[in-house]
Structure 1
Amino acid sequence: MKQIQEAYIVAASRTPIGKSHRGFLRNTRPDDLLVAALRGALAQVPSLDLKAIEDAIVGCAMPEGPQGLNVARVAALLAGLPDSVGGITVNRFCASGLSAVQMAADRIRVGEADVMIAAGCESMSMVPMSGNVPSFNPAIFSADENIGIAYGMGMTAEKVAQQWNVSRADQDAFALASHQKALAAQAAGEFGDEITPFEVIERSPDLQTGTVRERRRTVSLDEGPRADTSIEGLGKLRPAFAAPKDPSGKATGLGSVTAGNSSQTSDGAGALILASERAVREHGLTPLARFVSFASKGVPPSIMGIGPIEAIPVALRHAGLQLGDLDWVELNEAFAAQALAVIRSVGLDPSKVNPLGGAIALGHPLGATGAIRAATVVHGLRRRQQRYGMLTMCVGTGQGAAGIFERV
């Protein structure tokens, strides 16, 4: 019987995050973003024998089109990994990247592998939310208990705001703080350890000469944070989703969820390399963090944003920790409404939550976010000499996920 062993993160890298449809990565294929993230992570472990890598697990929320065809295996090969390195694409919507890390860690912990890749990629520019041809099972619409599966996530945020009494003013203030923290972090170079600069290539036809013009530029910062964000500006934005209704079907008033207090649709990729203690010794690797625990829990789809409320206590219990033991919490800001509901319900210390800003400012490329924010946690803990960090998020169709890391 194989002995349970520890799984260590020895490298963590990500691309800058671009705004979908209008940002600097809008014309970049998601598999190319993933290749860049993989190469960035591999560059952090030059002593690693690539043949020691067992498998690559990649999260993707909409694995179709240019991020289909088992993008994990395709990108692994394009990144120059040996043919012996496998690849599998997994989908837990917004927690896909974190689930990839958990699955890679579990392979190591049970002794089935010594070196694994965990990653995530998503281009919301090239593959829309819900995919190109969404098709709901008709049974979803035949029973009240299932109708929440078909709700847009913005509508679920409105329901959370209503049930948890999260005001529009509080949502806008939370959104402003996200931008302010992200801008301060960029100015201080806080993301330097985790971001691998990416060369954007833009091509356009020159009809006069019959040639193709090519413009190249290197981007090294996330595109989302805005210095001109203000409470006044946020307050002028109209609610983006239908007004919530009470159980009788009567509208309860204007909605409070806007584009300004919601996460930005985005493009990006992240990658981590995990290793056993034996592999750390054999390849001369330096661990960034230990993967401690993971939990996922289901909640009603109509209020999917509260998922972390259920997942966080379980992850803490698995880790043998208390809430006060956490030094850093990356709570994915799908919406300010759900983030505030989670903070208040769980009792999170707001000063420890998203110290570098969150998805409202930095962006949320769905299946990539778990890997991207895992890189933020492990590098942040090391940089600030803190011990325990947690990454948690809500998940479409009603789930929550949480993973805990320890600096070593």
Structure 2
Amino acid sequence: MKEIVILQGARTPFGRFGGGLKDVPAIQLGVTAVKEALLRSQVEAAQVDHIVMGNVVQSGPDPIYLARHVGIYSGMPIESPALTVNRLCGSGLEAVVQAAHLIQMDEAEIVVSGGTENMSQIPYVMPQARWGYRMGNSQVLDLMTTSLIDGYTGQGMAITAENLAEKYEISREAQDQFSVRSQQLAGQAQQSGRLAKEIVPVALNDKKQTVIEHDEHMRPETTLEQLAKLKPAFKAGGSVTAGNASGINDGAAAVIVTSADKAAQMGVKPLARIKSWASAGVPPEIMGFGPVPASRKALERAGLTIDQMDIVEINEAFAAQYLAVEKALELNRDKVNVNGGAIAIGHPLGASGARVLLSAMLELQARQQRYALVSLCIGGGQGIAMVIENAAL
């Protein structure tokens, strides 16, 4: 079987909800990330055989064309096909899995993959408007809030985190402490220039010629005392707050996937080898537990153990969710989300999978360490995980 490698990658800054990127469509965010990923990979757009992009809640004027338009606007050949995938919060990583499939099946040699999301542009909808209103009141639905509720269980994503907090006896204080850690580490990574190594700035088409260079969501000055004052946001007497949950954000991330043989042929040194991947289902009521079985499956397929992982990236949908995963997998927190996570950096749904992968690759390179595990929980009760190896070792 072909050895699959990742050449390089890039991401945009992650904008806060209604922030600097609110008027930049998901497609344009994707184009920005893809062009930079190609540049860093020393790959011409004309060489790309396929593009796979994750996107969750379609927004903007032409969202159904997302991956295709990202490819075309990035300069890829008209003949190169495109696929938009939606595995909810795991979409950006699922896109990389699909890229690996295409290469292993000899359907492509070079694949652009990643994800993009503009949550600020998620629309309101009027379900009855097409066929007319005859009389009386009607509803305008916020597709943002309805998308964050699992119709099968009737529970919002935050309630699934409350369920995990109760099941695994995770205190409010523990959640807040972990959230402060995320904010502090992200702030340090921003100050040191570590996050800048991931990011390509986004130039806005406004009168001021504004350029967004940094993640907007993080608050590194956050203290435990400040978080303790926040009221439970989703359940009376609960423990999940706006301060110990991930953000609602805008952004994109992309990586360039190929085979080891093709990389050698091009004379390009890859960042990482993909050792394995896996997806798994869990009860929807505890969807945040998904990284546990997915990670176990991926590690087993790679023939490795959690103790052999030098870096671990677990997407921080909620602090309670992460802490449940940490407890079940017996993670060494010193190895996990070492530059902060989604609580600080943000969670643009379709992009986060590629973001955690990119972060892990660059961290292995910086530390000259070998293995990393990346994983995300997925609304509806799933998890996705991938094991990678530093290609320089």
Q: Distance in 2 between matches of 1:376 and 1:368?
A: 12
Distance 1:216 1:240, change over 3 A: same
CA contact (8 A) 1:316 1:322 kept: yes
Worse-matched range after superposition: 111-120 or 173-182: 111-120
Q: Distance in 2 between matches of 1:362 and 1:50?
A: 29
Asked if 1:153 corresponds to 2:128, the answer is no
Asked if 1:261 corresponds to 2:244, the answer is yes
TM superposition shift of 1:400: 0.8
TM superposition shift of 1:306: 0.7
Matches within 5 A, 1:124-203: 124-127=119-122, 132=143, 147-148=152-153, 150-202=154-206
Q: Distance in 1 between matches of 2:188 and 2:331?
A: 22
Give the one of 282, 287, 307 matched to 1:299. 282
TM superposition shift of 1:128: 5.8
User: What's the secondary structure of 1:329's corresponding residue?
Assistant: strand
Matches within 5 A, 1:230-379: 230-243=223-236, 254-379=237-362
- What is the aligned-residue RMSD (CA, Å)? 1.9
Q: Quote the residue 2:12 is aligned against.
A: 15
Matches within 5 A, 1:397-408: 397-408=380-391
Asked if 1:36 corresponds to 2:45, the answer is no
CA contact (8 A) 1:62 1:131 kept: no
Q: Distance in 2 between matches of 1:187 and 1:314?
A: 36
TM-score, normalised on structure 1?
Answer: 0.88
TM-score, normalised on structure 2?
Answer: 0.91
Aligned residues: 373
TM superposition shift of 1:215: 1.7
Q: Quote the residue 1:25 is aligned against.
A: 21
Which residue identity does 2:113 align to in structure 1?
A
Q: Distance in 2 between matches of 1:131 and 1:378?
A: 37
TM superposition shift of 1:134: 8.8
User: What's the secondary structure of 2:324's corresponding residue?
Assistant: helix
Matches within 5 A, 1:196-211: 196-202=200-206
Asked if 1:79 corresponds to 2:83, the answer is no
TM superposition shift of 1:32: 0.7
Which residue identity does 1:51 align to in structure 2?
A
Q: Deviations over 1:319-357 (max 9, x none)?
A: 110111101111000000010010011101110110000
Which residue identity does 1:132 align to in structure 2?
L
Q: Distance in 1 between matches of 2:61 and 2:160?
A: 29
Which residue identity does 2:343 align to in structure 1?
I
User: What's the secondary structure of 1:367's corresponding residue?
Assistant: coil
Q: Quote the residue 1:211 is aligned against.
A: none
Distance 1:394 1:133, change over 3 A: closer
TM superposition shift of 1:282: 2.5
Percent sequence identity over aligned pairs: 41
* Unaligned stretches of 5+ residues in structure 2: 125-140
CA contact (8 A) 2:55 2:88 kept: yes
Which residue identity does 2:26 align to in structure 1?
P
Q: Distance in 2 between matches of 1:230 and 1:135?
A: 32
Q: Distance in 2 between matches of 1:133 and 1:27?
A: 16
Which residue identity does 2:16 align to in structure 1?
K
Worse-matched range after superposition: 181-190 or 58-67: 58-67
Which residue identity does 1:173 align to in structure 2?
Q
Q: Quote the residue 2:54 is aligned against.
A: 59
Worse-matched range after superposition: 60-69 or 127-136: 127-136
Distance 1:347 1:133, change over 3 A: closer
CA contact (8 A) 1:5 1:111 kept: no
Give the one of 21, 41, 46 matched to 1:45. 41
Q: Distance in 2 between matches of 1:131 and 1:406?
A: 42
Matches within 5 A, 1:105-116: 105-116=100-111
Q: Distance in 1 between matches of 2:211 and 2:202?
A: 5
CA contact (8 A) 2:26 2:59 kept: no
Q: Distance in 2 between matches of 1:241 and 1:175?
A: 17
Q: Quote the residue 1:5 is aligned against.
A: 2
Which residue identity does 1:27 align to in structure 2?
D
Q: Distance in 2 between matches of 1:344 and 1:382?
A: 27
Q: Deviations over 1:68-88 (max 9, x none)?
A: 223000111111222122111
* Unaligned stretches of 5+ residues in structure 1: 142-146, 203-213, 244-253
Distance 1:66 1:356, change over 3 A: farther
